Structure 1
């Protein structure tokens, strides 16, 4: 079935490119170059150490900030976008620890570490576009690039959800403010795979005519093989005024390992975003993460975390002094003497710049 679908789409690409050769007679424009860099210092106030070895413990279970009492480079990114006629392409490269964590699924192919995104697209019409390659996930509230987030530390839902997809997708305009995305991709986060397991992808998005309310309903699900994964995700945003808006993200992921039974983890988060001026904003994020069945590699417990992140904006530079408190149902954090604890308190000083 999947081979017939891919063959049909391949014929569609050939048909459309043959009839768009007139585009090549135009002068090709220069690509648009953009980029970003983010750096941070993180300190967990417990300053925890392993009781037997004395080594530092980070008290961190989320992506990209696994350090203690250290200045760190998050990621330096360089992106090129080019459009010529109905065709377009994007190359998005990243360097640093953040980029390495993105590429965790292909550790034996270091040449892929730097490729955050790489895809080509063809706009069949103003309401139908095909894209093939690797792109950032559509699931979740928080984007992958640090400068696009108001909180610097990531939530648990992002950390244990998908980072990227490599495959083929179609973006379909449904009229007014509604759109549909359908796709098929490799196993989540894998740029290259040897198994026959694929993932179906979908997103339905809509908004009110004034864009003050918007909704994104997201899906990924595997087929092929005895392993199974299904995830449903919703993102809602509401603009209360030109200075205040609220975001919501809820997700549930069910995993069925080879030879095992299915179990689920889920999470829910609210984002309160206040911007009293063009140079200062503040975000309060509250998240509940339930992994009591130890479905993913996070601690097998439930965790509530609350994060306060002021944003000081100086042109394209944003400085984020952040405080984060976490409290778990079980003792999964550690104190200075190595004893277990149910809570953790962390401070971060981060800076992001984009161009």
Structure 2
């Protein structure tokens, strides 16, 4: 089945090379964004920012987030599309952490893929693309909170491989095969299976996505995570209640099976996040994100280090044209002392203030 899947994708892309030169409907769109922020953790611990999620690992400092530039091309009246999405800065480096570790220029490549429509409802995509798992995404202009959730940080970031999308009205299905999670250039034979089922109401006010990503059957620690298998099942729901109020919900469970002889237990951790979005005026938006992480067996100590974490983030979005100013307050608490006080001792809670600036063009 997998051979047939890859074979269809290769034939489609080869066919494209022959017909592209005859096309007169080509188009190209350039877009991008820049963002930066100032973050202050009130514990003010020396050498410890008390940050355990992605992209905001600084303390009492102005910091650059990312400059990104994206080119979207279409051909054959939209039958073929291609995207080159590049990022520069610490945000991009953390997103492509495998490539950053080897100082590869591929760390700048957030996404790079080609899509070919086999029909109106079926399309094939090959290349590197951002993950479908989770509520939040990498690019700052697309999130209402600037700091990231624990679920975003500890789920997959991207996939490099081939996938097929099938749509029928409000219902959609995606399945694909990719390199090992987050690897642009694979260092292992272990492959990732990805899938998504989506649906929603006819008026578009309710949308739901059931997502999957994982691998299985790895032996002798033959992958960078030294796991025999990893499976993540993820649910995202968006509901528009009124034209000024919306609700988002994300629930995820990640099962981790250790290889024989591992000192860590096999098991799963769960995460739940509720997003309350209020837009009293076109220029002002408020978002409260409440997130609960549960890891009762401590199956992922390097990520959490506690059996439970509860984090609340309140963000204001002040919009002036393409510019967004985001003041943010974040308070989080854990079942054990995973944070650090100013005197160097442990703490079960911490608070952070952040001010971010985002411009999209």
TM bucket (normalised to shorter chain) is: over 0.9
**1:32 corresponds to 2:29:** yes
Unaligned segments of structure 2, at least 5 residues = 220-227
Which of residues 273, 282, 290 is equivalent to 2:277?
273
1:5 Cα deviation after fit: 4.0
Match of 1:298 in 2: 303
Cα deviation 1:139-195 (Å, max 9, x = unaligned): 00001101110000000000000110000001111x220111111000110001132
Residues 229 and 258 of structure 2 are in contact (CA less than 8 Å); yes or no, is this contact kept in structure 1? yes
Query: Taking structure 1 as the reference length, what is the TM-score of the superposition?
Result: 0.93
What is the aligned-residue RMSD (CA, Å)?
1.6
CA-CA distance at 1:12 after TM superposition:
4.8
Q: Report Cα offsets for 1:72-118 as digits up to 9, x if no partner.
A: 00100000000011211100000000011011123225211100000
Instruction: Give the TM-score of the pair, scaled to structure 2.
Output: 0.92
Distance 2:4 2:26 in 1: 36
Q: Which residue of 1 aligns with 2:43?
A: 46
Report the more deviating stretch, 105-114 or 235-244: 105-114
Aligned equivalent of 1:189, options 173, 182, 188: 182
Do the aligned residues in 1 keep the contact of 2:12 with 2:116 (CA within 8 Å)? no
| Match of residue 216 from structure 1 | 209
Query: Deviation digits for residues 6-50 of structure 1, max 9, x if unmatched?
Result: 235423544x538x72x532325341000001100000011112x
Q: What are the Cα deviations for residues 190-220 of structure 1, in whole angstroms up to 9, with x where unaligned? A: 0011321001110111110111111000001
User: Separation in 2 of the partners of 1:341 and 1:166?
Assistant: 39
Determine helix, strand or coil for the equivalent of 2:91: helix
Match of 1:83 among 74, 80, 100: 74
- Deviation string 1:263-320 (CA, Å, 9 cap, x unpaired) is 2111000000000000001000100012343333223211100000011000011100
Give the alignment of 1:129-140 within 5 angstroms: 129-140=123-134
Give the match for residue 235 of structure 2.
Answer: 234
Q: Tell me, in whole angstroms, the C-alpha distance in 2 between the residues paired with 1:33 and 1:13.
A: 23
Aligned partner of 2:16 in structure 1 is: 17
For the 8 Å contact 1:196–1:224, the answer to whether it is kept is: no
**Is residue 219–residue 233 contact of structure 1 (8 Å, CA) maintained in 2?**
yes
Equivalent residue in structure 2 for 1:144, among 138, 142, 146 = 138
State the secondary structure of the residue aligned to 1:105. helix
| Cα distance in 1, alignment partners of residues 239 and 106 from structure 2 | 37
